Amino acid sequence: MSNETENSSSEFERERVPENALKGPAAFWGMYAGEHTAGTEFMIGPQFVAWGATANSLIFGLLLGNLLAVLTWRFLTATIATQQRLTLYYKMEKVAGKHLVKIYNLANGILFCFLAGSMITVSATAVGPFFPAMKMPTFDSTMPTGLGWIFACICIGMAMTIVAMKGYSVVAKVGNYAAPWMLLIFVACAFVTLGRLETFDLWELLTPPAGTTEKISFWGIVFFSWFCNAAMHLGMADLSVLRFAKSPNAGFASAAGMFLGHYIAWICAALLLVYWVRNHGVDPSRGKDPGTMVNDAVGWAGLICIIIAGWTTANPTIYRAGLAFQGIMPTMPRNVSTLIAGIVCTAAGIFPAFAMNLLSFVGIYGTILAPIGAIIIVDHFLAKAVGIPTDPAEKTGTTFNFVVLLAWLIPVGIAIYLYRYQDVFASYLPLPTAIACGLLYILLSKTIGPKLKLS
Amino acid sequence: MIKSIARPVGYLSLLATIVPPMLYMFGVISLEPVKTILLVACVAWFAAAPFWMKAD
């Protein structure tokens, strides 16, 4: 489905999707299930354990957060997508102007690279069990752990980049085929772990030992699971996918990704670290690399799962980063832009800092990109009611709508300050930043925004 | 023809991915055969799924 999506998104890029190109709900259920069972899930579950999350937070917080994410996809993203049937980029061009879209593309491309880099990091840990001398990174690793690690990341990153340059249809197909099997491998890891720990009491297992500092609360888990894909739902990146949906109810298909990948898979992965903490005395704050834990639990099948899960999600991400860079310089061949993206991704993957801080990184990712979605929400639902023009850049002929730039950058700047200097958890920031951006957009549009010439 | 073989092989490989770990959890079998069965099931799934899922 990733391939299908990519092929589809290369069509009707500057027009409404016609009725005969619309797809039924089945395609979206498969796509969301596949896209959200990634290699990074092996990293996120254990990081909850490292942050001292309670059983209540994990079981009910994830449930609530994922439900809110599904509702955001359904009632905001899918509603706008099926009414407008435009890509995010084309819609942005109408609102923000084509030159401002380039700045968004740059931000998007760089963040995509870091995300794909963390997937390369996770995939590289699958190499570890074959080379016991190679030192694997832990949660507190920020720098490469040695030459062997750098070599493994370069090999994996370059292989992914070459496939992305050639077009990733084969890998996307493998991703589709792998999705149900990968989920079962996560569950298999959990079963083996429960057998080793000789208890089925999930609540007791997920309860951190007395004296553990709770670095992530119930609401922290709710907001993390709600906004870890903020760029896709609130940020409207999935307009490009859901514009092909016959009905906005296709937004409910995101439940497949949220409740399989971001609920079952995260909890299964968390159990792996619980076992290593209890039976091997691993320090939960330092964690253990996914490759070692999965190989120990389910063997080679688990290592294959890590590589495929990392590969099938990193590949489209590198490809999309390449497209984003190409959007900045349209004359650059796609192969060159994908190669540049792949080199940046590989460089990011060598440094475990991104993968080992995923809980914070995805919050920042959403904080930077989600506000753009707020502007589109205002344009779609509120513009007429508050007396500002819809699609102002298109109607006034401006190629750089400064109102959008200010409304985007001011709240994002404040949010980054709060994260960096006030220690605010990154996942708390996308929602208030997006709301502030929407309100500022209305205010600035009414005061200094481009004015329509009335006939 | 291929689909009619691939579908049951696919289902069986998924069962072989989940049942042995479950048996290990209940203390019925040891871990080493579980790992071997999982690897065989992995190969079987990727051999069968393209024919089955493509046909669907």
Measured CA to CA in angstroms, residue B50 lies from A34, A364, A404 at distances of 15, 38, 46
pLDDT of residue A452: 67
Of B17, B35, B49, which has the smallest distance from its Cβ to A184's Cβ? B17
Q: What is the pLDDT of residue B16?
A: 97
Looking at residue A317, its pLDDT comes to 84
Specify the 3-state DSSP secondary structure of A444.
helix
- Could you write out the DSSP letters of every residue in A69-103? HHHHIIIIIIHHHHHH---HHHHHHHHH-HHHHHH
B6 touches chain A (CB under 8 A): no
> What structural domains and CATH numbers belong to chain A?
2-359 (1.10.4160.10)
A91, A103 in Cβ contact below 8 A?
no
CB A164 within 8 A of CB A322: yes
Confidence class for position A361, pLDDT limits 50, 70, 90:
very high
Residue A7 pLDDT grade (very low, low, confident, very high; cuts 50, 70, 90): very low
Query: Does the pLDDT at position A73 exceed 50?
Result: yes
CA–CA separation, A119 and A268 (whole Å): 18
Terminal alpha carbon distance of chain B: 14
Interface test with A, best of B7, B22, B38, B52 (most A CBs within 10 A): B38
CA atoms within 13 A on the CB side of A196: 22
Per-residue confidence (pLDDT) for residue A4, from 0 to 100: 40
Give the phi and the psi of residue A229 in degrees, each rounded to 5: -115, 30
| pLDDT per position as a tens digit, A126-163 | 988 888 888 999 998 999 999 999 999 999 999 888 88
pLDDT tens string A162-182: 888 876 677 777 777 888 999
Among A170-174, A374-378, A401-405, A433-437, the minimum mean pLDDT is found in A170-174
- Do the Cβ atoms of B14 and A184 come within 8 Å? yes
Beta bridge partners of A23: A245
Place of tokens 């963390």: A118
- Could you give the CA distance from residue A101 to residue A94 in angstroms, rounded to a whole number? 10
Window from A37-41, A54-58, A164-168, A347-351 with minimum mean pLDDT = A164-168
Give me A303's structure tokens: 């290592």
CB distance from A174 to chain B under 8 Å? yes
Residues B35, A180: C-beta atoms closer than 8 Å: no
- List chain B residues with CB under 8 Å of A174: 46
- When pLDDT is averaged across residues A229-233 and rounded to a whole number, the result is 94
Least confident of A13-17, A47-51, A206-210, A212-216: A13-17
pLDDT average, residue stretch A278-303:
93
Contact A299 B39 (CB under 8 A): yes
A8: pLDDT strictly greater than 70: no
Residues B2-45 pLDDT 10s: 888 899 999 999 999 999 999 999 999 999 999 999 999 999 99
**What is the predicted pLDDT for the residue at A3?**
40
Is the predicted pLDDT of residue A331 greater than 90, yes or no?
no
pTM > 0.80: yes or no: yes
Which among B19, B22, B35, B46 is the top mutation candidate for probing chain A, defined by the most A β-carbons within 10 Å of its own β-carbon? B35
Supply the pLDDT for residue A9: 44
- Quick check: B42 and A192 CB within 8 A? no
- Per-residue pLDDT of A264-286, as tens digits, reads 999 999 999 999 999 999 999 88
At A330, the amino acid letter reads: P
Cβ proximity of A234 and A83 under 8 Å: no
Residue B45 touches chain A, beta carbons under 8 Å: yes
CB contact under 8 A, A299 and B38: yes
Closest Cα partner for A274 from A46, A442, A447, A34?
A: A46
Q: Is the pLDDT of residue A295 over 60?
A: yes
Q: Quote the pLDDT of residue A167.
A: 67
Sign of CA dihedral A187, A190, A195, A196: positive
